Structure 1
Amino acid sequence: MNLELGTGDTSNKKTKNKSIILYKIKKNPMTILGFSIIIIMALLAIFAPCITNYDPTKMNMLDRFQGPSMKHLFGTDEVGRDILTRVIYGTRISLTTGISVVVTAGLIGAIIGSVCGYFGGYVDQIIMRLMDIVLAFPTLILAMVIASILGSSLFNVMLAIAIVKIPVYVRLARGEALILKNNLYVKAANTFGLSNVYIIFRHIIPNAITPIIIQVTLDLGDTILLVATLGFLGLGAKPPTPEWGTMISTGFKYMLEQWWYPTFPGFAVFLASTGFNLIGDGLRDVLDPKSSR
């Protein structure tokens, strides 16, 4: 007997649904704009050595504090480094950090939430109360505290942000699991003696993934902004690493006379967070029936 019949649509229906999703995305100009921004930034990050000939960490005191020109489109910093080059290489750090943090938090949160929702009981209550405690604190404040305790480094900033993001995914996955575990195909799987691990990873998590994907895309922009904020506060990557928040923090000292120094890294943060937010809003409209217009 095939227990997979209740887990989803037929292949033809899935293909039709994918076509509808792609059609809706193409019809939304703001979502297309978001994808365009992120794709361009990703290409810049990948092909950075081919785009610029400057070294992002090499100092050249003869070129310090040069304004935007044909030689240095975004100007130079206090030790003569090309700011455009550092912004481009900073794209690698920011995109990699943001995606790694959110995907890690999403996966861990989805597993914990699905287990809590499926089994219930005392373990569920204890874990959810812990998640409520974490959610009770402002995200930025709690991330600052954790990063300060762990020590100033980019990895510790990633870990701190992942910790404060996990509870959101736990609650989402748990809510979906509470509904899904009462579905007929889950009860049939239980009846035929399939293991709880198999049921969770084959039936619960895949069918609870839609709101998690939406939240991941929405959190990407916020995470990049958080990384930059913690870097600005001196808790993230250390100089001469070309990280946007650190560049803004250093450039802020010279803002009145060398306006280009903090402006262009700040604009990069704005573009990245805006791009991911536009993608998240578009996917929410497409994937979440409750938000359809």
Structure 2
Amino acid sequence: MSGTTLKTESIAAARSTKTVNPFWYKIRRNPLTLLGLFLLLLILLLSIFAPLISPYEPTKINIPERFAPPSADHWFGTDEVGRDIFTRILYGARLSLGVGVAVVVGAGVIGTIIGAVSGYFGGRIDQLIMRLMDIILAFPALVLAMAIAATLGPNLQNAMLAIAIIKIPVYVRLARAETLALREKLFVKAAVTFGIPSWFIIVRHIIPNALSPVIIQVTLDIGDAILLVATLGFLGLGAQPPTPEWGAMISIGWKYLLDYWWYPTFPGLALFLASCGFNLIGDGIRDILDPKANRS
């Protein structure tokens, strides 16, 4: 009898834990999501405490120590002008992660608002917005980003704008699809019947209920945005030297790959780990917020 009671209590405790915090409960059941979370927290903490971790300046030139191999003094070696690569990677993480998150969140907010307006009003407004989005999507994303960045001028701000422009149509389509379904719901029709303004219906009822797919897409797109920022930096269309940006570091370092392997290898590894971390977290959040996954 006591064994049965203990078993019942443990099951009830497990169920109550799952009920209290289902989001964290599902994350703990996914080891890949935990791995992605660990990678991002590690990179984030290293970048925040970079001045305490490394005694070197990211842009200070030290010619006598140029191309020093990895050692106790320089964990990842030095570059062509003697700058510590480990230090530059730490400071570059601030830029890459910050830019990736800012660009995708900004594109997500703008795209969600435009998509909700398009889907709610329909008609000519919807046709105009969606044809414009189709024009943007007709071009390969990287090619269009390169064209916009090159036209506006090679710097980090223009690279961010270019990436945001190519990301917005994805969120417009997601928000529009959700809005088309939500505007047929009874609570939306009731709000219209009571004469509530359209802008209030969109802000209060449409957008909050259309956020789930947008949040999933945001988490999946951050890793891609980081890669795009690095790609534009690699091509000379993003952050300019001596800014410690991973793509710009790889752009210069690959020329010395055969003789000084550490120069492009460690920035490339940091870029790979950051992108993997965001992708793993995005997959986990998709599994959590997906209604089909919840039912299983």
TM-score band (shorter)? over 0.9
> Quick one: structure 1 residues 95 and 170, their matched pair in 2 at CA, closer, same or farther if it must change by over 3 Å?
same
CA RMSD, Structure 1 to Structure 2 (Å): 1.3
Shift of 1:47: 1.3
% identical aligned pairs:
66
Distance 2:192 2:271 in 1: 48
**C-alpha distance after superposition, 1:39-97 (max 9, x if no partner):** 11111121111111100000000100000001100000000000000000000000000
The counterpart of 1:207, out of the listed 178, 192, 209, is 209
> Quick one: structure 1 residues 204 and 17, their matched pair in 2 at CA, closer, same or farther if it must change by over 3 Å?
farther
Determine if the alignment matches structure 1 residue 177 to structure 2 residue 174: no
Residue 121 of structure 2 corresponds to which residue in structure 1?
Answer: 119
Look at both structures and tell me which one has the larger radius of gyration over its CA atoms: 2
Distance 2:18 2:72 in 1: 50
The counterpart of 1:266, out of the listed 243, 265, 268, is 268
TM-score (norm: length of structure 1):
0.93
Distance 1:291 1:169 in 2: 22
Distance 1:99 1:18 in 2: 29
Determine if the alignment matches structure 1 residue 93 to structure 2 residue 108: no
The counterpart of 1:186, out of the listed 188, 191, 197, is 188
Distance 1:251 1:44 in 2: 22
Residue 44 of structure 1 corresponds to which residue in structure 2?
Answer: 46
Residue 253 of structure 1 corresponds to which residue in structure 2?
Answer: 255
Residue 241 of structure 1 corresponds to which residue in structure 2?
Answer: 243
Distance 2:292 2:28 in 1: 20
Residue 12 of structure 1 corresponds to which residue in structure 2?
Answer: none
Distance 1:285 1:210 in 2: 11
> Quick one: structure 1 residues 279 and 71, their matched pair in 2 at CA, closer, same or farther if it must change by over 3 Å?
same
Distance 1:199 1:152 in 2: 41
Stretches (4+) displaced over 3 A: 15-18, 290-293
Distance 1:158 1:118 in 2: 29
Counterpart AA for 1:163: I
Shift of 1:289: 1.8
Residue 5 of structure 1 corresponds to which residue in structure 2?
Answer: none
Please tell me whether the aligned partners of residues 18 and 25 of structure 2 are also in contact (alpha carbons under 8 angstroms).
Answer: no
Residue 10 of structure 1 corresponds to which residue in structure 2?
Answer: none
> Quick one: structure 1 residues 173 and 94, their matched pair in 2 at CA, closer, same or farther if it must change by over 3 Å?
same
Distance 1:42 1:22 in 2: 20
The counterpart of 2:24, out of the listed 22, 25, 37, is 22
Q: Work out the number of aligned pairs and report it.
A: 279
Structure 1 unaligned regions, length at least 5: 1-14
Residue 147 of structure 1 corresponds to which residue in structure 2?
Answer: 149
Determine if the alignment matches structure 1 residue 109 to structure 2 residue 111: yes
Distance 1:207 1:180 in 2: 8
Shift of 1:290: 3.6
Counterpart AA for 1:200: I
TM-score (norm: length of structure 2):
0.92
Shift of 1:19: 1.7
The counterpart of 1:168, out of the listed 167, 170, 185, is 170
Residue 285 of structure 1 corresponds to which residue in structure 2?
Answer: 287
Shift of 1:16: 7.2
Residue 138 of structure 1 corresponds to which residue in structure 2?
Answer: 140
Distance 1:143 1:291 in 2: 35
